[in-house]
Amino acid sequence: MILASVLTTNLAILVLAGFVGFIVISKVPNTLHTPLMSGTNAIHGIVLLGGLLVVGLSGNSAFNKVILVIAIAFGTINIVGGFLVTDRMLEMFKSKPKPKAGAGEGKDGGGKGETGGES
């Protein structure tokens, strides 16, 4: 009876956390999404470090160690992928270099030939 109560409580917490997380994230403006993702990736790095510490503790069964190694692998993929996506998003905000004047253009720099008129 206690197991069912604990399971129901944990399931309710999981559903409510998912609902609250969805509401909070949907209210975040696009300009704040990239910094928040960077922070989330840093927090996940701490979680990954905790997983590595738990794997190193003695007394865990082989099954627990396999599950921990799988969790560490998925956490690593999440961190690397998150930072790659964050870097790609930050590239969109950088100004592009302006083309140098005179490259492939006429003498007047207008790109319309020698006379400056239409081609």
* Per-residue tens of pLDDT for the chain, all 119 residues: 566 788 899 899 999 999 998 898 888 887 777 677 777 777 888 888 888 888 777 667 888 888 888 888 888 888 888 888 778 877 877 787 778 776 555 555 555 555 555 54
Q: How far apart are CA 58 and CA 42, in angstroms?
A: 27
pTM: predicted TM-score of the whole model, two decimal places: 0.51
pLDDT at 93: 77
Helices (H), the chain: 2-26, 30-56, 62-93
